[in-house]
Amino acid sequence: MIQGRRVLVYIPARSGSKGIIDKNIVDVAGKPLMAYTIEAARGSAYVDEVIVSTDSALYADIAKRYGADVPFLRPAELATDTSPEMDTTMHLMSWLEGEGCAKYGLFDIIIRLQVTSPLRTTADIDGALELFIEKGADSVISVFECPVTPLWMNTLPENRCMKNFISAEIRQKNRQELPQYYQLNGAIFAADWNFMKSTRGWYGEKTYAYIMSKEHSVDVDDMLDLEFARFLMEKSE
């Protein structure tokens, strides 16, 4: 709880990934990937409940082993490659307001944490929540500084001619003279419960950015990301 507001962390963990088989439970420095997100959430003094939404009994058992609740298995129609993430969020929120209310009570803030950000820390979660309260926000979303400015990027024509790839104005400037850009890292999405219910979205007029470090923003999408995450974990230990 923070400033009298109850906080739910929900962690989506669908099975059936193709790039890395069973990515959400793959071993990373001696633990399943999922464990790092659960432990970071449970370490927060502000988080009241941690719930994993999964379609897999195996994933559910692992989640419970590391301290999360799994009150139900996600319906099959919400566990496909094309299932909208927001439908899963709305399903969980509706269940908690109905059947789950007797056990869990009502919440004021919902936070979605993706499993594939294992280097996100408890301090990051707490920092995002503190920013949420400080700003009186509708929502807070995590970002990190872009390592390369998008002003140095463009599409290419079929013949790969770079005549107009970068404007003359940008070519004349040093990197330090260019504005700093920020990139979504997917690690933390926090929102007011009623705002989420009414808008079915994470973005609003009072959405603020929580800035995370590049290291904590590692997102495990492919084998190279996985090996990098393992390297950082082992190095930190």
Q: How many Å from the N-terminal Cα to the C-terminal Cα in the chain?
A: 30
For residue 3, the one-letter residue type is Q
The label of the residue with tokens 């209310």 reads 101
How high is the pLDDT of residue 82? 76
pTM for the model: 0.92
Residue 216 token pair? 């904590």
Alpha-carbon gap, residue 20 to 26, rounded angstroms: 8
The answer to whether 63 touches 23, Cβ cutoff 8 Å, is no
pLDDT digits (tens, 9 = 90+) for 30-58: 999 999 999 999 999 999 999 999 999 99
Q: Where do the DSSP E strands lie in 81-200?
A: 109-112, 139-145, 182-192
Q: Go through the domains of the chain in sequence order and give each one's CATH number.
A: 7-230 (3.90.550.10)
pLDDT-based confidence at 174, cuts 50/70/90? Answer: confident
Averaged confidence pLDDT in the chain: 94
* pLDDT over threshold 70, residue 237: no
User: Can you give the pLDDT at residue 177?
Assistant: 86
Decide: helix, strand or coil at residue 115: coil
- Which helix (H) or strand (E) segment holds residue 71: the answer is none
Structure tokens at 45: 């003094």
From CA 79, how far away is CA 15, in angstroms rounded? Answer: 8
Q: What is the pLDDT of residues 153-164, one digit of tens each?
A: 999 999 999 998
